[in-house]
Structure 1
Amino acid sequence: MNSSRPGLSALCRGLIPLSTRTLAQETTGAAKLKTIEDLPGPTLSTTLFWLFAKGYKDKSHLLQGVQKNLYGPIWRSKFGPFDLVNVASPELIAQVIRQEGRYPVRAELPHWKEYRELRGQAYGLHVDKGQEWYRMRSALNPKLLRLQEVSAYAPIIHQVVEDFLQRIEFLRIRSPDQATVPDVAAELYKFGFEAISSILFETRLGCLQEDIPEDTERFIAAVNDMLTLSETVVVFPRWMRSAFPFWERFVQAWDDLYNIAQTLIDKRLCDIHTRMERGEPTDGLYLTYLLSCDKLTQSEIYICVTELLLGGVDTTSNTLSWALYHLARDQRVQDRLYSEVNAVCANRRKPDTDDLRGMPYLKAVIKETLRLYPVVPGNGRFTAESEVIVDNYRFPKKTQFHLCHYVVSRDRTQFTRADDFLPERWLRTHAFQHHPYSFIPFGVGVRGCVGRRVAEMEMYFALSRLVQQYEVRPGEDSAPIEAKTRTLLIPARPINLRFLPRT
């Protein structure tokens, strides 16, 4: 993949250290710095007009571009309890990230914290801050971010991929034309759920079976309900909860989610104890490591594993859905990908982690998909530790920044033919340069995605084996499919694809 460096001008526009920037600004006079009150931005009525009258409620990712064109690369927006500083250029994103401190915070989640306190649970990675957050993150990292450790999960992932291929074949044969698989994204969601659960809980949940176990269905529903309701709950103040059922449903979804996760973890813990009493080896992978490392309390393991599950499903399922959608519509790209996979793994041999090193185009397809469809169209940074200076503005503690990844990753000054699906742009032989902060789908620094390596392995194995088995073509309705925002960037309607067996 391209490892291009920014030119000198890019460094001057935002990558110089904070200490240097602050010294320069103090030399010219700190009084020249503006405040958050000086930022341009829409009024509440304008925001409501865009969201509801202009139809951007489901397309807030596109609203990033509208507002950037009106107000420039940094602006302020208010809606309900949210008071955001939006940043929509790679140079300014770099300035925010480089001042995030040792213990960065993405965003405050008061409704998650309230639930934890209601049930007497540990806070977990998304709620805890400072040294406690860092301690938990340090315990979770080694078995998820080191490539050598992650390679141990390859056999498990291949088992899940095998079941997914059987599921695709079953659905294909059952369809009227014996080719079409309806709503591929829904099937890939089951794949993603089964894959990450197999690693985190060290057990198969049966997501890809024809008859999904009742507890597994409840588990999947709880994840969907909690994430959907989380958007709504955080907007309404506490005093309005009696008028709407959102809070009760949110609590019930978290209860279901937590209780099932706790049951699965306790089952594994009981199995470990039984084996130890018998003098048998306690072989295991991620969960066994967490339960035996003494770095986390049992309560912290319950919540941390649950949160890892929440972040580990959609990255895989959404990215693969969009990748297959584009492969079906671009025969040239699909043929090139198949040729590469077949050259490295002839006769449909399963690729291993070493084989992936010889598949740069496979990685480029995934990377280009993430550029066009970042899993979340925006990320956050909450200045919990100190004030920061971005551009010519000084922001106090407790400022919430919204990093507009969607509009930045489609910036025409950074990417040629920015709206086109061109995996070649990521190959070393393709001469192109972009600012390193114009494309950060997994985040950066200590707040970067802890499950990145696992997600990438799942996507590489699943996509390579799918193109080994099938030629993918659009379904009967081949009209373009747009994205919509539901916290995540998802297809606005089902993606139906035809899977034609390769001879």
Structure 2
Amino acid sequence: MISVRRRMQRAWRGSGRSATPLPKCVGRWAEGDGTALRTLDDMPGPLLLSSFWELFPRRGLTRMHQLQLEGLQRYGPMWKTHFGPILTVHVAQPALIEQVLRQEGKYPCRSDLSSWKDYRKLRGHHYGLLTSEGKEWQEVRSLLSKHMLRPKAVEAYDKTLNGVVSDLIAKLRLRRLPGGLVTDVAKDFYFFGLEGISSVLFESRIGCLDPVVPKETEHFIQCINCMFLLTLPTMAMPRWLHTCFPIPWRLFCYCWDNMFKFAKGQIDKLLKDVANNHGEGKVEGHCLAYHLSQTTLPMETVYSNITELLLAGVDTISSTFSWSLYELSRHPEMQASLRQEVLAVLEGKAVPEAADVARMPLLKATIKEVLRLYPVIPANARVNVERDIQVGGYVIPKNTLITLCQFATSRDPSVFPCHNDFLPRRWLNKGKTHHPYASLPFGVGKRSCIGRRIAELELYLALARILVEFDVRPDPEGVSVKPKTRTLLVPAEVINLQFVER
């Protein structure tokens, strides 16, 4: 019994490798104190009909980040709900999220994303990095990581990204109304995000920031928006309802069809240009799509991965940049301090490089604080595909969907004092540390965001340049903007800002 209890103690501390399920014959005990581990039957949560009601558009889907806070207040740090046909366990405490993530297996499973996979099965497409699992996912992750996660490799993209930033600044100047007002800045930043990730993937431009945006590019962006809007409803619907209520599913498939078509067209054009210009020689540079096409992966897998990388990079940039300037416009003293840091590091240079960013701690802290308040992915997920796990005194059965409530933990007042306030300097106070799992905007571990370093570099370069060029001031009408859930977390209202020349 002593050895069993020791095993239980090790598992309770959250070590994935040592978390061994206890034999049923001896029962299950928490922390060796004689308290029996609880099951999902013991876990609090709303009734099935209550869960369903919360998903109605008037109440639920656009405010699922707020439902995290309400669930935490009603039920405590762990509760269960039914998302359509899916049973979900919600975890809304940093220490409990750590327990979940430390019990990941060799191939962490993020979530089923059932409607995304259903589409691929319907069309015969391969899976990409966001939809694949197991060894298939690990192979692609390993191939991409050397180009997207190694700091030296990422620094090589600074010239490419600075070219995109220059075009964004020109576009903002073109769009300014009298007084420097630019309406709906998120739209411009959406185009900026797509142009940035495209320049990295293809080392070519697709015209997002041109005075007139190409129709196929604008249609691609519309399809991304529509697909994210339909992701949650199509996941909540049982598959048999797709035939009873076909319009949402057909529109969802139409959006994916056009996204795959757009990405495939860009890749095919790239490979054709390479063949014409270089013959059989290798391409010099950092073109991710080309390097991926030269691996052992089938081209269908390359198409799927590039499609998913395109859509994954756009909202991260658009939303984070929109919120950054929105908050800085409402905190002019912080904007002035940040501008002073940028100018001091640049020492007269007009354009920062990746090496300069390393000497701008307040700039990095600003992005961290924005992502704490407005995490692009308000809730991450895991499925414990290998075994039962133990979290917070509960046994979570194998193959359970676990929602990690990151919006709730990043606004936890016990972790972040003044949790609703924009305070970038909290990240510079070395004497006060927060729980490392409280704010995870890019995830953590093996399934963390593969494009994190590229996205951060693009944000740093753009924010530094904007602050050198402009004073950013709030909408004269003083509109307060709140977030909403559209699968990802985005501004619920249009953000208008004034860009006044310095």
Q: 1:389 to 1:100 in 2, by over 3 A?
A: same
Match of 1:137 among 135, 141, 163: 141
2:348 partner SS: helix
TM-score, scaled relative to structure 2? 0.92
Deviates more, 1:377-386 or 1:106-115: 106-115
Distance of aligned partners of 1:321 and 1:279 in 2 relative to their CA distance in 1, 3 Å threshold = closer
CA distance in 1, matches of 2:10, 2:124: 49
Give the drift of 1:476.
Answer: 1.8
Deviations 1:3-29 (A, max 9, x none): xxxxxxxx9997552466658948838
Aligned to 1:266: 268
Aligned to 1:476: 476
Task: Tell me the CA shift for residue 164 of structure 1.
Answer: 0.1
C-alpha distance in structure 1 between counterparts of 2:216 and 2:128, whole Å: 24
Matches within 5 A, 1:207-222: 207-222=208-223
Partners of 1:21 and 1:69 lie apart in 2 by 29
In the alignment, which residue of structure 2 is the partner of 1:339?
Answer: 340
Alignment correspondent of 2:6: none
Flag the 1:471–1:27 CA change in 2: closer, same or farther, 3 A: closer
**Counterpart among 60, 69, 81 of residue 77 in structure 1:** 81
Q: Is 2:43 the partner of 1:39?
A: yes
Q: After TM superposition, list the pairs within 5 Å mapping 1:350-429 onto structure 2.
A: 350-427=351-428, 429=429
Farther-moved stretch of structure 1 (417-426 vs 104-113):
104-113
Distance 1:440 1:14 in 2: 22
SS in 1 for 2:148: helix
For 1:279 and 1:402, locate their aligned partners in 2 and report how far apart those are by CA, in whole Å: 47
Paired residue type of 1:501 = E
Cα shift at 1:283: 4.6
How many Å separate the matches in 2 of 1:63 and 1:104?
Answer: 26
Superposition deviation, residue 276 in structure 1:
3.8
Are the equivalent residues in 1 in contact too, given 2:186–2:318 (CA < 8 A)?
yes
Range with greater deviation from structure 2 (55-64 or 452-461): 55-64
Between 1:103-112 and 1:283-292, the stretch displaced more is 283-292
SS of corresponding position for 2:437: helix
Counterpart Cα distance in 1 of 2:120 and 2:371: 32
Match of residue 17 from structure 1: 15
1:439 Cα shift?
1.3
- Cross-structure match for 1:497: 497
Query: How far apart in 2 are the matches of 1:185 and 1:13?
Result: 45
Unaligned runs of 5+ residues in structure 1 are 1-10
Residue 71 of structure 1: CA displacement? 0.8
Q: Percent same amino acid at aligned positions? A: 42
Shift of 1:255: 1.0
Q: Which residue of 2 aligns with 1:247?
A: 249
Q: Which runs of 5+ in 2 are unaligned?
A: 1-8, 23-27
Aligned match of 1:3: none
Counterpart CA distance in 1 for 2:119 and 2:58 is 35
| The one of 68, 71, 81 aligned to 1:67 | 71
1:102 to 106, 117, 122: 106
Contact 2:30/2:393 (8 A) holds in 1: no
TM-score, normalisation: structure 1: 0.92
Q: Distance in 2 between matches of 1:379 and 1:253?
A: 23
The residue type equivalent to 2:49 in the other structure is S
CA distance in 2, matches of 1:14, 1:352: 46
Aligned length: 487
* Deviation at residue 463 of structure 1 after TM alignment: 0.3
Alpha-carbon spacing, 1:37–1:167, altered in 2? closer, same or farther (3 Å): same
| One-letter code aligned to 2:350 | R
Contact 2:200–2:288 at 8 Å: present in 1 too? yes
Q: CA RMSD in A?
A: 2.3
Change (3 A) 1:180 1:85: same
